[in-house]
Amino acid sequence: MGKFQIPSGVNGDGDVSRLVALARRISADADKVDAYLRENNLPQPGFEVDAPGDFPSLPADVQQSRQQIVHDALELGRLARGPRETVRWGVWNYLDTLSIQIINSFGIANMVPIEQPILLSELQTKSALRLIAHTAASRLLAEDKALQDWAGFVSEDVFPAGANVLKSLRSYPEATSLTTTGFNFAFNTVNEEPMFVTFGKDPVRAKRMAGAMASLTGGEGYEVSHFVDNYDLSDVDNAGGTLVDIGGSHGFVSVDLAKKWKNMTFVVQDLPKTVESAPKPISDDASITQRVQLQAHDFFHEQPVKGADVYYFRWIIHNYSTPYAINIIKNLIPALKPGARIIINDHCLREPGSEKPWDEKVIRGMDLIMLTLLNAQERDEEQFKELFRAAHEGFVFKGVSRSPGCRMSVVEAVWDPKPEEWDSQGSELRSPFSGIKTPAPSLQYF
């Protein structure tokens, strides 16, 4: 024990310790990434204030090396610390979040000039807290509003909610209700209202969360282009068919789809206040505006658009525990024609160890976030299949696909009921959005 074969691509002879083999692989992968950057005259990563905020787009093999460095460096650190120190200081990781929370909440990054350091004495006239000069990361925090929203949402909403998940699970071990979550315990709303409604009453927090989601969904692996560029809607487009974008916020997915598919029409559904706040017109291109309609709809009620070709959910189903998710799907049934497609664009969990390590960490981390905020979950293929099976036997599950470089999967089913099943109707739960009087956040949360 304690020995393993040197990974492929790492020079060496015979068996070596895991510590040494990891260090060699990190070095080899770093050389590969560095060589690509140099050969293509791309900026090098760094901590200096003028260092690039993001890694450039990389070929798949170089991107794999980059992600492997991240994973191996973490493992190497754990080996170097040893098990006891890893546990002892691992539980202190929340202090990193606390530090970012304080810097972001007090606007410290905005007080420091970008191009030069600031004297502590001068900074103290602006804040009781201390900072000397910007790094690349703090500069981004000063300049990127969406990143500020992300830091604020995670540190001020998710962070305290996470600290209360254990209390939630001990009190309500079934973990299916939207009003008994870690979030509810953190903000004293247990059995009163779900997070959706809490944010609907607080426009500032709702706006911050929307910005946070923009930061996430615009990030690596979540680009809308993965779906737009890779999912084939040619048959629907040729027939001049319709796609319903359920919980589609301000319609950014449908607008991008409409740019590619010139004959289709699109209906974007969300809560009334979200629809009212959408840009008008929804696009500068009149040909797109004519084909993209906004419609107020709560998906806990029967689907009003009958006979569409595609019903599309992006970042929706994973917000809900199984009873709610089943009913969302059931409420489509009265609207469905034979052959109608239901597409769920969410994470789909794979077998442990089959993902790239960094992707697996992010996706499974999101699974914990869903539990923390909504008693919900990310699902694997069998769990998605079971949702459709539980909703109605008339759904034929078509499978799961994912484009290279994307963390989100396309889960697809088709409505193909037997004749005796035609009189089936939807099944409504009381909507968690009932009673919202102030501007509500979008149904499309994550």
CA–CA dist 4, 65 (Å, integer): 20
Active site residue 347: no
What distances in angstroms separate CA 224 from CA 31, 161, 217, one per listed residue? 32, 29, 8
Say which of 134, 318, 347, 392 is annotated catalytic: 318
CA–CA dist 248, 314 (Å, integer): 7
CA–CA dist 142, 134 (Å, integer): 9
Q: Which residue has the tokens 């350091």?
A: 117
CA–CA dist 231, 171 (Å, integer): 43
Helix axes 60-81, 83-90, angle to 10 degrees: 100
Q: What is the DSSP letter of 421?
A: G
CA–CA dist 2, 221 (Å, integer): 35
357-361: Cβ within 8 A, 24+ apart: 357/67, 357/68, 357/70, 357/71, 358/67, 358/70, 358/71, 359/67, 359/221, 359/407, 361/71
Q: What is the DSSP letter of 92?
A: T
CA–CA dist 45, 54 (Å, integer): 8
CA–CA dist 403, 230 (Å, integer): 7
What distances in angstroms separate CA 326 from CA 106, 155, 283, 297, one per listed residue? 43, 31, 34, 18
- Residues designated as active site: 318
